[in-house]
Amino acid sequence: MADGPMKMAKELRTYLAEDLGLTVKPHKALTEPQVTFAVMLGLMREQATESRRTPKVPCYFINRFPDQLTGTWATTPEGRLVQVLVDAGGPHMDKHKMWRLVLFTWLGAGGVHGQPWQELCAIPAIMMYSRKLQQKQPWEVMKYAMMCVQRSSNRLLSFFGSDGRDKGLRFSRDYFRMLALWHDSVPTLTAAFAQGSESFLQAMKKVRGFGELTQKEVFSYLGVSSHPSFRAMAAEAIPFGPGAKQGALVFLGAKSELLRAATRLRPHLQDCMRQHFPHVHADVSVTDIEIFLCYGLTYAKMACKLRAELAGNRFCKIPYGVACHRADSIAWTPAGWTTWAAGKERAALPHRQFALASAPPARSRKSPASLARHWRLDSLAKHFEQISAKRALSEAGVDNGGGPGSKKRPAASAELRDPTGSRSPSSNVDGGRITVQFAPGEALPPGFMAVPALGDVYLFVAAVAFAMATAGNLSVEHESVYKVL
Protein backbone atom coordinates (compact mmCIF):
# COMPACT_ATOMS: atom_id res chain seq x y z
CA MET A 1 0.00 0.00 0.00
CA ALA A 2 1.21 3.49 -0.78
CA ASP A 3 2.73 5.23 2.22
CA GLY A 4 3.97 8.61 0.96
CA PRO A 5 1.83 11.45 -0.47
CA MET A 6 3.42 11.34 -3.93
CA LYS A 7 3.32 7.56 -4.04
CA MET A 8 -0.33 7.51 -3.00
CA ALA A 9 -1.31 9.97 -5.73
CA LYS A 10 0.63 7.93 -8.29
CA GLU A 11 -1.02 4.70 -7.15
CA LEU A 12 -4.47 6.28 -7.46
CA ARG A 13 -3.64 7.51 -10.96
CA THR A 14 -2.58 3.98 -11.89
CA TYR A 15 -5.81 2.60 -10.40
CA LEU A 16 -7.91 5.02 -12.46
CA ALA A 17 -6.00 4.34 -15.67
CA GLU A 18 -5.15 0.64 -15.51
CA ASP A 19 -7.77 -0.84 -13.20
CA LEU A 20 -10.77 1.21 -14.36
CA GLY A 21 -9.62 1.78 -17.93
CA LEU A 22 -9.71 5.59 -17.93
CA THR A 23 -7.52 7.62 -20.26
CA VAL A 24 -5.79 10.12 -17.99
CA LYS A 25 -4.44 13.08 -19.99
CA PRO A 26 -1.97 15.71 -18.78
CA HIS A 27 -3.04 19.31 -18.29
CA LYS A 28 -0.71 22.21 -18.95
CA ALA A 29 -1.66 24.11 -15.79
CA LEU A 30 -1.78 21.17 -13.37
CA THR A 31 0.68 18.73 -11.89
CA GLU A 32 0.11 15.00 -12.22
CA PRO A 33 -1.43 14.64 -8.70
CA GLN A 34 -3.71 17.62 -9.40
CA VAL A 35 -4.85 16.00 -12.65
CA THR A 36 -5.53 12.82 -10.68
CA PHE A 37 -7.71 14.79 -8.26
CA ALA A 38 -9.71 16.35 -11.12
CA VAL A 39 -10.20 12.97 -12.82
CA MET A 40 -11.30 11.42 -9.53
CA LEU A 41 -13.94 14.13 -9.06
CA GLY A 42 -15.15 13.69 -12.62
CA LEU A 43 -15.41 9.92 -12.25
CA MET A 44 -17.44 10.28 -9.07
CA ARG A 45 -19.80 12.72 -10.78
CA GLU A 46 -20.19 10.60 -13.89
CA GLN A 47 -20.75 7.37 -12.00
CA ALA A 48 -23.36 9.11 -9.87
CA THR A 49 -25.41 9.76 -13.03
CA GLU A 50 -27.50 7.12 -14.76
CA SER A 51 -25.32 6.87 -17.88
CA ARG A 52 -21.66 5.94 -17.41
CA ARG A 53 -19.98 6.81 -20.70
CA THR A 54 -16.25 6.83 -20.02
CA PRO A 55 -15.13 4.20 -17.46
CA LYS A 56 -14.79 0.72 -18.90
CA VAL A 57 -15.83 -0.67 -15.55
CA PRO A 58 -17.60 1.11 -12.67
CA CYS A 59 -15.60 1.73 -9.51
CA TYR A 60 -16.69 -0.56 -6.70
CA PHE A 61 -15.97 2.00 -3.96
CA ILE A 62 -18.08 4.72 -5.58
CA ASN A 63 -20.96 2.25 -5.82
CA ARG A 64 -20.46 1.24 -2.18
CA PHE A 65 -20.52 4.82 -0.87
CA PRO A 66 -22.89 6.66 -3.24
CA ASP A 67 -23.82 9.21 -0.57
CA GLN A 68 -20.26 10.37 0.06
CA LEU A 69 -18.34 9.81 -3.19
CA THR A 70 -20.51 12.04 -5.38
CA GLY A 71 -17.82 14.50 -6.45
CA THR A 72 -20.08 17.43 -5.52
CA TRP A 73 -20.87 18.51 -1.96
CA ALA A 74 -24.30 19.82 -2.94
CA THR A 75 -25.43 16.38 -4.16
CA THR A 76 -24.64 14.54 -0.93
CA PRO A 77 -27.62 13.89 1.38
CA GLU A 78 -26.24 16.41 3.90
CA GLY A 79 -25.74 18.98 1.17
CA ARG A 80 -29.27 18.61 -0.19
CA LEU A 81 -30.74 18.83 3.30
CA VAL A 82 -28.86 21.93 4.38
CA GLN A 83 -29.46 23.69 1.06
CA VAL A 84 -33.15 23.85 1.93
CA LEU A 85 -32.22 25.38 5.29
CA VAL A 86 -29.87 28.12 4.03
CA ASP A 87 -31.97 28.98 0.97
CA ALA A 88 -35.21 29.45 2.91
CA GLY A 89 -36.33 33.06 3.12
CA GLY A 90 -33.88 34.36 0.54
CA PRO A 91 -30.23 35.52 0.79
CA HIS A 92 -30.66 36.90 4.29
CA MET A 93 -29.57 35.63 7.68
CA ASP A 94 -31.80 36.29 10.66
CA LYS A 95 -31.68 34.84 14.16
CA HIS A 96 -34.14 32.06 13.28
CA LYS A 97 -32.04 30.81 10.36
CA MET A 98 -28.85 31.20 12.39
CA TRP A 99 -30.29 29.11 15.24
CA ARG A 100 -31.32 26.42 12.74
CA LEU A 101 -27.86 26.48 11.18
CA VAL A 102 -26.27 26.13 14.62
CA LEU A 103 -28.67 23.31 15.54
CA PHE A 104 -28.07 21.48 12.24
CA THR A 105 -24.33 21.68 12.93
CA TRP A 106 -24.66 20.46 16.54
CA LEU A 107 -26.64 17.43 15.35
CA GLY A 108 -23.79 16.60 12.99
CA ALA A 109 -25.17 17.58 9.56
CA GLY A 110 -28.69 17.01 10.85
CA GLY A 111 -27.95 13.70 12.58
CA VAL A 112 -27.74 10.19 11.18
CA HIS A 113 -29.78 9.90 7.98
CA GLY A 114 -31.07 13.43 8.69
CA GLN A 115 -33.86 11.96 10.81
CA PRO A 116 -33.24 14.04 13.98
CA TRP A 117 -33.26 17.25 11.94
CA GLN A 118 -36.44 16.33 10.11
CA GLU A 119 -38.20 15.45 13.35
CA LEU A 120 -37.21 18.71 15.02
CA CYS A 121 -38.20 20.73 11.94
CA ALA A 122 -41.80 19.71 12.62
CA ILE A 123 -41.76 21.49 16.02
CA PRO A 124 -42.11 25.29 15.65
CA ALA A 125 -41.38 25.81 19.35
CA ILE A 126 -37.87 24.52 18.72
CA MET A 127 -37.25 25.88 15.22
CA MET A 128 -38.25 29.49 15.94
CA TYR A 129 -35.51 31.17 17.96
CA SER A 130 -36.68 32.92 21.09
CA ARG A 131 -34.70 34.67 23.82
CA LYS A 132 -37.71 34.19 26.07
CA LEU A 133 -37.37 30.44 25.60
CA GLN A 134 -33.59 30.41 25.87
CA GLN A 135 -33.83 28.90 29.34
CA LYS A 136 -35.41 25.76 27.92
CA GLN A 137 -35.12 25.68 24.12
CA PRO A 138 -31.61 24.16 23.85
CA TRP A 139 -32.25 21.89 26.82
CA GLU A 140 -35.30 20.41 25.13
CA VAL A 141 -33.11 19.52 22.18
CA MET A 142 -30.56 17.95 24.51
CA LYS A 143 -33.23 15.90 26.26
CA TYR A 144 -34.49 14.75 22.87
CA ALA A 145 -30.96 13.78 21.85
CA MET A 146 -30.30 11.90 25.10
CA MET A 147 -33.57 10.00 24.78
CA CYS A 148 -32.69 8.99 21.21
CA VAL A 149 -29.18 7.93 22.23
CA GLN A 150 -30.52 5.79 25.07
CA ARG A 151 -32.97 4.14 22.67
CA SER A 152 -29.98 3.30 20.46
CA SER A 153 -28.22 1.34 23.23
CA ASN A 154 -26.29 4.46 24.33
CA ARG A 155 -24.37 4.72 21.05
CA LEU A 156 -23.82 8.43 20.44
CA LEU A 157 -22.77 7.97 16.83
CA SER A 158 -26.05 6.27 16.02
CA PHE A 159 -27.63 9.70 16.58
CA PHE A 160 -25.05 12.37 15.77
CA GLY A 161 -24.19 12.44 12.08
CA SER A 162 -21.28 13.63 9.94
CA ASP A 163 -17.74 12.26 9.93
CA GLY A 164 -16.36 14.99 12.19
CA ARG A 165 -14.16 13.73 15.00
CA ASP A 166 -15.87 16.03 17.48
CA LYS A 167 -19.31 14.39 17.29
CA GLY A 168 -18.46 11.80 19.92
CA LEU A 169 -17.75 14.66 22.35
CA ARG A 170 -21.22 16.21 22.25
CA PHE A 171 -22.05 14.71 25.65
CA SER A 172 -18.56 14.76 27.10
CA ARG A 173 -17.93 16.25 30.53
CA ASP A 174 -16.34 19.38 29.06
CA TYR A 175 -18.74 20.06 26.20
CA PHE A 176 -22.21 18.78 27.07
CA ARG A 177 -23.49 22.33 27.75
CA MET A 178 -22.23 23.48 24.36
CA LEU A 179 -25.62 23.79 22.63
CA ALA A 180 -26.88 26.14 25.35
CA LEU A 181 -23.84 28.37 24.79
CA TRP A 182 -24.39 28.27 21.04
CA HIS A 183 -28.02 29.22 21.58
CA ASP A 184 -26.96 32.25 23.65
CA SER A 185 -24.54 33.33 20.91
CA VAL A 186 -27.12 33.40 18.09
CA PRO A 187 -27.75 37.18 18.19
CA THR A 188 -24.01 37.91 18.19
CA LEU A 189 -23.36 35.47 15.32
CA THR A 190 -26.25 36.93 13.31
CA ALA A 191 -24.92 40.46 13.68
CA ALA A 192 -21.40 39.34 12.73
CA PHE A 193 -22.71 37.49 9.67
CA ALA A 194 -24.11 40.74 8.32
CA GLN A 195 -20.60 42.25 8.48
CA GLY A 196 -19.07 39.66 6.17
CA SER A 197 -17.18 36.37 6.20
CA GLU A 198 -14.17 37.51 8.24
CA SER A 199 -16.34 39.09 10.94
CA PHE A 200 -18.47 35.95 11.08
CA LEU A 201 -15.40 33.72 11.34
CA GLN A 202 -13.95 35.77 14.19
CA ALA A 203 -17.28 35.71 16.04
CA MET A 204 -17.44 31.90 15.77
CA LYS A 205 -13.92 31.60 17.18
CA LYS A 206 -15.08 33.33 20.37
CA VAL A 207 -17.86 30.82 21.04
CA ARG A 208 -16.92 27.79 23.14
CA GLY A 209 -17.09 24.64 21.03
CA PHE A 210 -16.82 26.45 17.71
CA GLY A 211 -13.45 25.00 16.84
CA GLU A 212 -11.86 24.90 13.41
CA LEU A 213 -13.80 21.80 12.39
CA THR A 214 -17.15 23.34 13.36
CA GLN A 215 -16.24 26.58 11.57
CA LYS A 216 -15.43 24.57 8.47
CA GLU A 217 -18.75 22.75 8.63
CA VAL A 218 -20.77 25.97 8.93
CA PHE A 219 -19.02 27.54 5.93
CA SER A 220 -19.43 24.33 3.93
CA TYR A 221 -23.18 24.54 4.53
CA LEU A 222 -23.20 28.07 3.17
CA GLY A 223 -21.24 26.78 0.18
CA VAL A 224 -24.16 24.68 -1.12
CA SER A 225 -26.60 27.58 -1.16
CA SER A 226 -28.15 28.75 -4.41
CA HIS A 227 -27.61 32.33 -3.18
CA PRO A 228 -24.36 33.77 -4.62
CA SER A 229 -23.70 35.89 -1.53
CA PHE A 230 -23.71 32.83 0.75
CA ARG A 231 -21.46 30.86 -1.59
CA ALA A 232 -19.09 33.81 -1.77
CA MET A 233 -18.76 33.85 2.02
CA ALA A 234 -17.77 30.19 1.98
CA ALA A 235 -15.25 30.74 -0.81
CA GLU A 236 -13.68 33.65 1.09
CA ALA A 237 -13.16 32.07 4.47
CA ILE A 238 -13.80 28.30 4.69
CA PRO A 239 -11.13 26.68 6.91
CA PHE A 240 -9.60 23.38 5.79
CA GLY A 241 -10.14 20.51 8.22
CA PRO A 242 -7.54 17.89 9.24
CA GLY A 243 -8.56 15.42 6.53
CA ALA A 244 -8.52 18.10 3.84
CA LYS A 245 -5.05 19.21 4.96
CA GLN A 246 -3.73 15.68 4.50
CA GLY A 247 -5.51 15.40 1.16
CA ALA A 248 -4.01 18.71 0.02
CA LEU A 249 -0.54 17.31 0.62
CA VAL A 250 -1.37 14.29 -1.56
CA PHE A 251 -3.30 15.93 -4.40
CA LEU A 252 -2.36 19.62 -4.43
CA GLY A 253 1.19 19.43 -3.12
CA ALA A 254 0.33 22.21 -0.67
CA LYS A 255 1.03 22.44 3.07
CA SER A 256 -0.18 25.96 3.82
CA GLU A 257 -2.34 28.72 2.35
CA LEU A 258 -4.76 26.01 1.29
CA LEU A 259 -7.71 28.31 0.63
CA ARG A 260 -5.57 30.45 -1.65
CA ALA A 261 -4.22 27.37 -3.45
CA ALA A 262 -7.71 25.95 -3.95
CA THR A 263 -9.01 29.27 -5.28
CA ARG A 264 -6.13 29.50 -7.75
CA LEU A 265 -6.49 25.91 -8.97
CA ARG A 266 -10.29 25.84 -9.17
CA PRO A 267 -10.69 26.97 -12.83
CA HIS A 268 -7.93 24.60 -13.99
CA LEU A 269 -9.52 21.67 -12.17
CA GLN A 270 -12.81 22.50 -13.86
CA ASP A 271 -11.13 22.60 -17.26
CA CYS A 272 -9.35 19.29 -16.65
CA MET A 273 -12.57 17.63 -15.53
CA ARG A 274 -14.38 18.92 -18.60
CA GLN A 275 -11.56 17.56 -20.78
CA HIS A 276 -11.95 14.05 -19.35
CA PHE A 277 -15.70 14.04 -18.70
CA PRO A 278 -17.47 16.38 -21.14
CA HIS A 279 -20.93 15.20 -20.09
CA VAL A 280 -20.75 15.97 -16.37
CA HIS A 281 -21.47 19.22 -14.56
CA ALA A 282 -17.97 20.66 -14.36
CA ASP A 283 -18.40 23.53 -11.90
CA VAL A 284 -16.05 23.00 -8.95
CA SER A 285 -16.40 25.19 -5.88
CA VAL A 286 -13.81 25.81 -3.20
CA THR A 287 -16.17 23.96 -0.85
CA ASP A 288 -16.11 20.94 -3.18
CA ILE A 289 -12.32 21.00 -3.11
CA GLU A 290 -12.15 21.13 0.70
CA ILE A 291 -14.68 18.32 1.16
CA PHE A 292 -13.27 15.98 -1.47
CA LEU A 293 -9.66 16.45 -0.50
CA CYS A 294 -10.79 14.69 2.67
CA TYR A 295 -13.11 12.14 1.03
CA GLY A 296 -10.64 11.66 -1.80
CA LEU A 297 -7.86 10.77 0.62
CA THR A 298 -9.96 7.92 2.01
CA TYR A 299 -10.87 6.86 -1.53
CA ALA A 300 -7.19 6.83 -2.50
CA LYS A 301 -6.31 4.68 0.53
CA MET A 302 -8.95 2.14 -0.48
CA ALA A 303 -7.74 2.10 -4.08
CA CYS A 304 -4.13 1.59 -2.97
CA LYS A 305 -5.13 -1.21 -0.61
CA LEU A 306 -7.10 -2.91 -3.39
CA ARG A 307 -4.15 -2.76 -5.79
CA ALA A 308 -1.98 -4.38 -3.15
CA GLU A 309 -4.64 -7.07 -2.66
CA LEU A 310 -4.82 -7.76 -6.40
CA ALA A 311 -1.03 -8.25 -6.46
CA GLY A 312 -0.42 -7.13 -10.03
CA ASN A 313 -3.77 -8.15 -11.51
CA ARG A 314 -5.93 -5.41 -12.94
CA PHE A 315 -9.41 -4.86 -11.58
CA CYS A 316 -10.89 -4.58 -15.08
CA LYS A 317 -9.21 -7.82 -16.23
CA ILE A 318 -10.79 -9.96 -13.50
CA PRO A 319 -14.42 -11.15 -13.72
CA TYR A 320 -16.40 -8.27 -12.24
CA GLY A 321 -18.09 -10.34 -9.54
CA VAL A 322 -14.75 -11.71 -8.37
CA ALA A 323 -13.16 -8.25 -8.50
CA CYS A 324 -15.95 -6.75 -6.39
CA HIS A 325 -15.62 -9.57 -3.87
CA ARG A 326 -11.90 -8.81 -3.54
CA ALA A 327 -12.64 -5.10 -3.14
CA ASP A 328 -15.30 -5.82 -0.53
CA SER A 329 -12.83 -7.89 1.49
CA ILE A 330 -10.46 -4.95 1.98
CA ALA A 331 -12.96 -2.07 2.20
CA TRP A 332 -14.00 -0.46 5.46
CA THR A 333 -16.69 2.02 6.41
CA PRO A 334 -15.12 5.28 7.61
CA ALA A 335 -16.68 7.04 10.58
CA GLY A 336 -19.75 8.95 9.48
CA TRP A 337 -19.99 7.26 6.08
CA THR A 338 -23.46 5.80 6.24
CA THR A 339 -25.67 4.77 3.39
CA TRP A 340 -28.59 7.18 3.39
CA ALA A 341 -31.26 4.51 3.08
CA ALA A 342 -29.48 1.87 5.18
CA GLY A 343 -30.75 0.57 8.49
CA LYS A 344 -34.09 0.75 10.20
CA GLU A 345 -35.74 4.08 10.76
CA ARG A 346 -36.57 4.47 14.41
CA ALA A 347 -39.95 5.69 15.58
CA ALA A 348 -40.20 9.45 16.02
CA LEU A 349 -40.40 10.94 19.50
CA PRO A 350 -43.45 13.16 20.06
CA HIS A 351 -42.62 16.60 21.43
CA ARG A 352 -44.60 16.01 24.62
CA GLN A 353 -42.08 13.38 25.70
CA PHE A 354 -39.18 15.83 25.84
CA ALA A 355 -40.95 19.17 26.29
CA LEU A 356 -39.79 21.16 29.33
CA ALA A 357 -41.51 23.77 31.48
CA SER A 358 -38.14 25.34 32.23
CA ALA A 359 -34.44 24.68 32.10
CA PRO A 360 -33.19 21.87 34.37
CA PRO A 361 -31.96 23.02 37.81
CA ALA A 362 -28.31 23.99 38.14
CA ARG A 363 -27.49 20.98 40.33
CA SER A 364 -28.50 18.62 37.51
CA ARG A 365 -26.29 20.42 34.98
CA LYS A 366 -23.01 19.53 36.67
CA SER A 367 -22.31 16.56 34.41
CA PRO A 368 -23.88 14.57 31.57
CA ALA A 369 -24.68 11.79 34.05
CA SER A 370 -26.48 14.11 36.49
CA LEU A 371 -28.49 15.59 33.63
CA ALA A 372 -29.50 12.15 32.38
CA ARG A 373 -30.44 11.13 35.94
CA HIS A 374 -32.59 14.25 36.27
CA TRP A 375 -34.50 13.21 33.16
CA ARG A 376 -34.70 9.61 34.42
CA LEU A 377 -32.56 8.24 31.61
CA ASP A 378 -30.87 5.79 33.95
CA SER A 379 -29.21 3.56 31.37
CA LEU A 380 -27.56 6.51 29.68
CA ALA A 381 -26.57 8.01 33.04
CA LYS A 382 -24.83 4.77 33.99
CA HIS A 383 -23.05 4.79 30.62
CA PHE A 384 -21.81 8.34 31.26
CA GLU A 385 -20.68 7.38 34.77
CA GLN A 386 -18.63 4.50 33.40
CA ILE A 387 -16.96 6.81 30.88
CA SER A 388 -16.22 9.33 33.64
CA ALA A 389 -14.74 6.59 35.80
CA LYS A 390 -12.40 5.49 33.01
CA ARG A 391 -11.34 9.07 32.50
CA ALA A 392 -10.76 9.59 36.22
CA LEU A 393 -8.61 6.46 36.30
CA SER A 394 -6.56 7.74 33.40
CA GLU A 395 -6.14 11.20 34.90
CA ALA A 396 -5.18 9.72 38.27
CA GLY A 397 -2.33 7.89 36.54
CA VAL A 398 -3.28 4.43 37.77
CA ASP A 399 -0.61 2.17 36.27
CA ASN A 400 -1.94 -0.30 33.73
CA GLY A 401 1.19 -2.30 33.37
CA GLY A 402 3.78 0.23 32.30
CA GLY A 403 5.14 1.06 28.91
CA PRO A 404 6.35 4.17 27.13
CA GLY A 405 4.82 7.31 28.57
CA SER A 406 3.16 5.57 31.51
CA LYS A 407 3.21 7.21 34.91
CA LYS A 408 5.31 5.93 37.78
CA ARG A 409 3.80 3.03 39.67
CA PRO A 410 2.43 4.11 43.08
CA ALA A 411 4.12 2.75 46.16
CA ALA A 412 1.36 0.43 47.36
CA SER A 413 -0.76 -2.15 45.57
CA ALA A 414 -3.48 -4.67 46.24
CA GLU A 415 -4.79 -7.68 44.40
CA LEU A 416 -8.29 -9.12 43.97
CA ARG A 417 -9.43 -12.40 42.56
CA ASP A 418 -12.07 -12.13 39.84
CA PRO A 419 -14.21 -15.27 40.26
CA THR A 420 -15.27 -15.33 36.63
CA GLY A 421 -11.75 -15.29 35.24
CA SER A 422 -12.70 -12.54 32.80
CA ARG A 423 -9.91 -10.44 31.37
CA SER A 424 -9.69 -6.68 31.22
CA PRO A 425 -7.84 -4.79 28.48
CA SER A 426 -5.02 -3.85 30.85
CA SER A 427 -1.82 -5.88 30.82
CA ASN A 428 -1.81 -6.50 34.56
CA VAL A 429 -4.65 -9.00 34.48
CA ASP A 430 -3.52 -12.59 34.46
CA GLY A 431 -5.70 -15.64 34.95
CA GLY A 432 -8.55 -13.67 36.45
CA ARG A 433 -6.36 -11.75 38.90
CA ILE A 434 -6.93 -7.98 38.77
CA THR A 435 -4.10 -5.84 40.12
CA VAL A 436 -5.18 -2.34 41.21
CA GLN A 437 -2.66 0.32 42.27
CA PHE A 438 -3.05 2.71 45.19
CA ALA A 439 -1.35 5.90 46.21
CA PRO A 440 0.63 5.64 49.46
CA GLY A 441 -1.58 5.58 52.55
CA GLU A 442 -4.75 4.36 50.83
CA ALA A 443 -6.35 1.08 51.79
CA LEU A 444 -9.12 -1.25 50.67
CA PRO A 445 -12.58 -0.65 52.17
CA PRO A 446 -13.34 -3.11 54.99
CA GLY A 447 -15.14 -6.19 53.80
CA PHE A 448 -14.36 -5.67 50.13
CA MET A 449 -13.80 -9.07 48.59
CA ALA A 450 -14.44 -9.81 44.90
CA VAL A 451 -15.81 -7.72 42.06
CA PRO A 452 -17.97 -9.64 39.58
CA ALA A 453 -16.63 -9.00 36.09
CA LEU A 454 -19.40 -7.09 34.40
CA GLY A 455 -17.30 -6.13 31.37
CA ASP A 456 -14.06 -4.29 30.77
CA VAL A 457 -15.57 -0.89 31.58
CA TYR A 458 -16.86 -2.10 34.92
CA LEU A 459 -13.41 -3.31 35.90
CA PHE A 460 -12.14 0.21 35.39
CA VAL A 461 -15.01 1.56 37.49
CA ALA A 462 -14.00 -0.83 40.25
CA ALA A 463 -10.42 0.41 40.07
CA VAL A 464 -11.55 4.00 40.49
CA ALA A 465 -13.70 2.93 43.42
CA PHE A 466 -10.61 1.55 45.13
CA ALA A 467 -8.69 4.73 44.58
CA MET A 468 -11.55 6.81 46.01
CA ALA A 469 -12.19 4.56 48.98
CA THR A 470 -10.59 6.75 51.62
CA ALA A 471 -12.56 9.77 50.40
CA GLY A 472 -15.78 8.09 51.48
CA ASN A 473 -17.30 8.19 48.01
CA LEU A 474 -18.41 4.55 47.94
CA SER A 475 -21.69 2.83 48.58
CA VAL A 476 -22.52 -0.87 48.62
CA GLU A 477 -24.95 -1.91 45.87
CA HIS A 478 -24.93 -5.56 46.91
CA GLU A 479 -22.67 -7.98 48.66
CA SER A 480 -19.46 -7.43 46.75
CA VAL A 481 -20.03 -4.65 44.20
CA TYR A 482 -18.95 -1.06 44.84
CA LYS A 483 -20.03 1.87 42.73
CA VAL A 484 -18.64 5.41 42.46
CA LEU A 485 -21.27 7.94 43.50
Give per-residue pLDDT as tens, 275-324. Answer: 999 988 889 999 999 999 999 999 999 999 999 888 888 887 888 888 88
pLDDT recorded at residue 405: 44
**Structural domain range at position 429:** 362-484
- pTM for this entry: 0.78
Let me know: does 59 contact 48? Beta carbons within 8 Å: no
Residue 109 and residue 214 in one domain = yes
227/299 same-domain check: yes
User: What's the confidence (pLDDT) of residue 207?
Assistant: 93
Q: Are residues 352 and 379 in the same domain?
A: no
Burial class (CB in 10 A: 0-12, 13-18, 19+), 428: middle
Among positive and negative, which fits the CA dihedral 174, 178, 181, 185?
Answer: positive
Say whether both 268 and 197 belong to one domain: yes
Query: What pLDDT is recorded for position 311?
Result: 84
Same domain (yes/no): 41, 178: yes
* Least confident residue range of 110-114, 115-119, 307-311, 470-474: 470-474
Q: Which residue has the higher pLDDT, 481 or 133?
A: 133
DSSP state of 108: S
User: Which of these three, 359, 375, 404, is where a domain ends?
Assistant: 359
Cβ partners under 8 Å of residue 319, min gap 6? none
Query: What is the chain's mean pLDDT, rounded?
Result: 79
**Pairing mode, strands 481-484 and 474-478:** antiparallel
Work out the average pLDDT over 95-124.
93
Separation CA 309–CA 15 (nearest Å) = 12
**Do 186 and 62 reside in the same domain of the chain?**
yes
Does one domain contain both 303 and 438? no
Quick one: 255 and 315 in the same domain? yes
Cβ contacts of residue 410 below 8 Å, gap of 6+? 398, 399, 437, 438, 439, 440
User: Last residue of some domain: 359, 390, 422?
Assistant: 359
Pairwise pLDDT comparison (237 vs 390), residue with the higher score = 237
What is the number of structural domains in the chain?
2
Query: Of 359, 385, 412, which residue is a domain's last?
Result: 359
Q: Do 375 and 411 belong together in one domain?
A: yes
Query: 311: phi > 0 → left, psi -120 to 50 → alpha, else beta; which?
Result: left
Distance CA 77, CA 55 (A): 25
- Asked if 179 and 82 sit in the same domain, the reply is yes
Mean pLDDT of 169-179: 87
Q: What is the pLDDT of residue 321?
A: 83
Q: Are residues 328 and 408 in the same domain?
A: no
297 and 186 within one domain: yes
Q: What is the pLDDT of residues 389-401, one digit of tens each?
A: 887 777 665 544 4
What percentage of the chain exceeds 90 in pLDDT? 51
